[in-house]
Amino acid sequence: MAITLFDGADHANIWLEDLDLGEAVQANQHMIIHGREAMLLDPGGPKTFRHAYPEALSLLGHAKITRLFLSHQDPDIVAALNPWLASTNAIAHVSRLWMRFLPHFGLDRVMAQACHPIPDEGGVLDLDGAELIVIPAHYLHSAGNFQVYDPTSKILYSGDLGASFGNDYHEVTDFDRHLEHMAGFHRRYMANATAVSRWAALARQLDIEIIAPQHGACLRGRELVARFIDWCDGLPCGTDLLEPYAMPTTRLN
Ligand code: FE
């Protein structure tokens, strides 16, 4: 099912959600369409491609997918990069850190040339005249990790930051109750309080209406956005919570 998050003159932000992934983790695909160009964010793996590709095509109108954005290198994001590139003639943007790893997903030389490295400091992309800001969110959770802020719709595509699991709603209404679906993931997957605090300082400089993560529900409205940023800022997570290891004794199957 496709959900329109923003619909303006010549600009649309569409959420492709609830694609049936069987045992695979739930994942959101997002598409920004401006004029005659579209960018697909975190396109997903082969299971997603079978559903998302025809659905994306049906929503494009006269636009073409010219850019793929990969927030980081996880399989639920990049595993179907080869068929996406082959089917769209798009170029893909990914952290420079992952350029030499992506060819392991079967990219041949031509496909590898379609991948453009994002420098650590991020940058600005042009989508048929609309600017999209690629902002650094390193170690949240990947060492080379980016988010996309769309100034037209005021949507921040936050990748794994803000991800929630086990909830069956599309938009957060009760932040305190929503925390139970976010907290465990963030404590384990996000690198540490320094990383989330660096992100929070940058996010506060953006005018954000919606935070749209790659898993689970969106946060809509200034109040929820501010609460989320405040919650992230200084959150003990990842290496902050590491205890000394004990020598393993459990037999593994
Ligand atoms: Fe990930």
**pLDDT band for position 20 (cuts 50, 70, 90):** low
Per-residue model confidence (pLDDT) at position 120 = 98
What is residue 186's predicted lDDT score, i.e. its pLDDT? Answer: 98
Confidence (pLDDT) at 18: 62
For the chain, what percentages of helix, strand and coil (3-state, to nearest 5) are there?
30, 25, 40
Distance CA 141, CA 146 (A): 10
Distance from the CA of 61 to the center of ligand 1, in angstroms?
30
**63 CA to middle of ligand 1, Å?**
29
Q: Which of 13, 11, 35 is nearest to 128 (CA)?
A: 35
Average pLDDT over residues 212-219: 96
More confident site: 21 or 240: 240
The CA 113 to ligand 1 mean position distance, Å, reads 24
CA of 74 to the centre of ligand 1 (A): 5
Give percent of the chain above pLDDT 90. Answer: 85
- Smallest CA-to-CA distance from 125 within 196, 199, 66 is with 66
Spatial contact of 134 and 123, defined as CB atoms under 8 Å apart: yes
Q: 119-140, pLDDT tens digit by residue?
A: 999 999 999 999 999 999 999 9
Give the tokens for residue 159.
Answer: 């990748």
Say how many Å lie between the CA of residue 202 and the centre of ligand 1. Answer: 21
pLDDT, one tens digit per residue, over 68-89 is: 999 999 999 999 999 999 999 8
Closest CA to 78 of 48, 58, 53, 55: 48
Over residues 195-222, the mean pLDDT reads: 97
> How far is ligand 1, taken at its centre, from the CA of residue 126, in Å?
25
pLDDT of 35 reads 98
How far, in Å, from the CA of 162 to the mean position of ligand 1? 12
* H or E stretch covering 87: helix 81-88
Q: Which residue has the tokens 């379609």?
A: 114
CB 187 within 8 A of CB 236: yes
The domains found in the chain, sorted by start residue, are 2-239 (3.60.15.10)
Cβ contacts of 194 within 8 Å, gap of 6 or more: none
177 alpha carbon to ligand 1 midpoint, in Å? 23
Q: For residue 37, how far is its CA from the centre of ligand 1 (angstroms)?
A: 26
Number of helices (H), then strands (E), belonging to the chain: the values are: 7, 13
Q: Say what the pLDDT of residue 46 is.
A: 86
Average pLDDT (138-146) is: 98
Least confident of 48-62, 176-190, 232-246: 48-62
Does the pLDDT at position 179 exceed 70?
A: yes
* pLDDT of amino acid 242: 98
CA angle 103, 149, 227 (to 5 degrees): 120
Q: How far is the CA of 151 from the centre of ligand 1 (A)?
A: 24
Give 23-67 pLDDT, tens digit per residue.
778 889 999 999 999 999 999 888 889 889 999 999 999 999 999
Tell me the per-residue pLDDT of 146-168, one tens digit each, with 9 for 90 and over: 999 999 999 999 999 999 999 99
Mean pLDDT of the region 234-241: 98
Residue 112's alpha-carbon distances to 29, 50, 98, 175, in angstroms, are 22, 22, 11, 41
- The whole-angstrom separation of Cα 156 and Cα 150 is 6
Q: How far is the CA of 75 from the centre of ligand 1 (A)?
A: 8
